[in-house]
Structure 1
């Protein structure tokens, strides 16, 4: 059994900071459960191009407002607390924070822990 508390991760190597977000990594590849779980904050007034071409991501918003826009179709979806979206087709998208947002993110395959988006908006492939 694994037991962790968010406050134990904040400000440590498991709290990955980028210009538009920070992600507190709660479960990772080395935990051996087959997926990773992140508590992610998206900063208000930001826009990030993301393309998880090597991962499937499920995102559940628990706080704040924003939108996701699919790059290929330009379709937009409002994000608010209680909204779930799953990028099961590896959709390239823009993520925009209208207010600060807090998201619970699950990645398959599991992330190793230090990933940040590359120039294409992707995390590197993990095996």
Structure 2
């Protein structure tokens, strides 16, 4: 895995202002407004920053929270989890290990087989439909 590092100027040129806010400034899109919260097509969800395959559609489920939710990443070694104490809460932030993009958070209230809910911002993802 080769780490991708870009300047703020390079990130701003590549990403939309909304994608930049979420991925580089640890923002959150409003619930039920993202481009993938209710997508049900088969395919792969890649990091919008670097294209790394992060989540597969067969792990996506409707958590009713308004954000795309998955019970497992494609490869856990490509995801970094860090403690997030912002907004007076204790959460686990999910970050792309390749380009350090903020993706969302993971919670221990998901379905089997993992019991996890990776609650991910649509703005941090790019969907690639199955061919």
TM, length-normalised to structure 1:
0.30
Q: Which has the higher strand share?
A: 1
Q: Which has the higher helix share?
A: 2
TM, length-normalised to structure 2:
0.30
